[in-house]
Amino acid sequence: MKSTEHNAFLNEAMETLNRIDKENRHLTQLGWFLQTALRRFDRNYLDRRKPQVIVLGDDIPAELLYAVCDDPFYVLGGSLGTAHWADELTPRDTDPLSRSALGWLVNPAFDLTENALIVTAVSSDSRRKLISVLQSGGRKVAALDIPPNQSPNAVHYYTEQLTELAGQIGKHTGKRFSGSNLKRAVKRVANARSQRRRFLTAALSAGSIISDEAVLLAVQCMLFADDLEEWCAHIRALGEELEQLGRQYAFSQKDRPKVMILGSPIVFPNFKVPQLISSAGMDITAVADSLSLGASVVTPKAGVFASADALLQQIAQTHLKTISSGARVSNDGLYSYFKYLVKRLHPDGIVCHILKGQIEYDFELPRIERAAEKLDIPVFRLETDYQYQDMEQLWIRMEAFGEMLTQRKIVRNKRRRTA
């Protein structure tokens, strides 16, 4: 590989990190997150890391993963550089997220897959064919087939597969799948998710003290960190810093329109959409994508005497009910989460982010639009890929959307005052 290629791969991450760093210099606790994210693009780290288990995507229940593996290595996509590496292996219409995820695993620069078991869920057409590409390339893959509905047969099949998958991973890592391991994992994951929720609440009240991109990065580092407990400690510290700064200083709270992002996942380093939203004068109040929904799932409480099977059954049911992915005939998980967030946060507008090729989100758009129309919330469909050439065009559209939301806000406030 030419060094320029690796530079392009690293530069994209550096650019996003520099921007976040510049906007949030006053946050000392953010440094760890910037370092963690940057490490993912450091060739030495990637050569050294040699993960035992690579998790492709975010559809596998985290409780199960941590029960049989101490440090799963998540590959989510997000990088234009890795997407380029997979160009020749994928058809033209493949979505950039899948392309990028494949590029992380098959590339001329580093090999993460050596001796690793790749674990993934068959949640879309791309994913099912990526498995075949990886297997034909000699990689070891364990797949989880997600049923498209919630019938008892589907729950049974899903649970059965989870058990088998846990066994497969356990055999690879040497960590046996047992009730006690699963209970410990449930506790670890529940703690991490609770820290995440606490931090998001703190970030929401902190307003302009922390930028939206920084919030996204800090939260996403949960999947990038090598040690979950370390992430928990740092996110707690960052949350406390935000609260402290909020108490100490009077940061100006601008009355900017609040938008919610929904649809295709936004993965570091491609923070194009949050960047556009911020530069068009709006704030992100929430993100409703598969990543955030997955992390917001409330883990079932493990009873002292609960067996591994009973607990797994509970996990399967919860995940199958709440999972937000194109794998479902009707993506009720995402829809309910969207409705919950709207009710709780009252966004002024919704940005429906669709990565080119992820048609499952496009299919779901009319349902979201109908629900938003009833609530009188404008929806803006933003289709893009990982290229940066369309930034200017998107910015113009986004700015127009922002202006429209501002106008609506002014009119609404005026009406309220008159009344």
Partner 1 sequence: MTDNRQGTPEERRKQRFFNKSAATSVKYLRKIDELPHKPASLDPFLNILKHVFVDMQGAVKPAGTLSVGTYCVMVPPELIYAAGAMPVKLCGGSYTAFNIGDDIAPRDACPLVKAVMGFESIGVMPVYRECELMAVPITCDCKKKLAGYLSERRKTVTLHVPTGRSRDGDMEHYVKELYQFSEELTKITGKPLSYERLSWACGLTAAAQYELSRFIELRRRAPLVIKGTHYLAALNALSYTHVSIWTQYMRALCDETERRIQNGEMASKENRPRILVTGSPIVFPNFKLPLLIEEMGGALVADETCMGERGAYDPPAIADQTTDGIMRALANKSTRPCTCPTFTDNKRRVYRIMQMLEDYGVQGVIYHVLRGCLVYDYEYRVLEEEMGKLGIPIIRVESDYNEEDVEQLRIRVEAFIELIKYGRGGDTAVRLRKGQR
Binding site for partner 1 (CB under 8 A): 89-94, 122, 124-126, 128-129, 131-133, 135-136, 143, 145, 147-149, 151, 153-154, 157, 160-161, 164, 326-330, 356-357, 359-360, 362-365
State how far the Cα of 353 lies from the Cα of 289, in Å rounded to an integer.
Answer: 9
Closest separation in Å from C-beta 369 to partner 1: 13
Q: Which is nearer to partner 1, 36 or 126 (CB)?
A: 126
Q: Which is nearer to partner 1, 21 or 332 (CB)?
A: 332
Could you tell me if 199 and 238 are in contact, meaning their C-beta atoms sit under 8 angstroms apart?
yes
Closest separation in Å from C-beta 136 to partner 1: 7
Q: Count Cα atoms within 13 angstroms, Cβ side, for 135.
A: 11
Closest separation in Å from C-beta 218 to partner 1: 32
Q: Which is nearer to partner 1, 122 or 237 (CB)?
A: 122
Q: Which is nearer to partner 1, 201 or 330 (CB)?
A: 330
Q: Which is nearer to partner 1, 269 or 333 (CB)?
A: 333
Closest separation in Å from C-beta 417 to partner 1: 42
319: CB partners within 8 A, 6+ apart: 61, 158, 297
Q: How big is the CA angle at 131 (ends 357 and 222), to the nearest 5 degrees?
A: 75
Closest separation in Å from C-beta 145 to partner 1: 5
β-partners of residue 392 are: none
Could you tell me if 161 and 145 are in contact, meaning their C-beta atoms sit under 8 angstroms apart?
yes
Cα dihedral across residues 21, 23, 27, 30: positive or negative: negative
Closest separation in Å from C-beta 263 to partner 1: 12
Closest separation in Å from C-beta 353 to partner 1: 14
Closest separation in Å from C-beta 104 to partner 1: 18
Q: Which is nearer to partner 1, 59 or 364 (CB)?
A: 364
Q: Which is nearer to partner 1, 45 or 363 (CB)?
A: 363
Q: Which is nearer to partner 1, 94 or 195 (CB)?
A: 94
CA distances (Å), origin 406, targets 275, 362, 412: 18, 26, 10
Closest separation in Å from C-beta 135 to partner 1: 7
Could you tell me if 297 and 319 are in contact, meaning their C-beta atoms sit under 8 angstroms apart?
yes
Q: Which is nearer to partner 1, 198 or 356 (CB)?
A: 356
Q: Which is nearer to partner 1, 174 or 366 (CB)?
A: 366
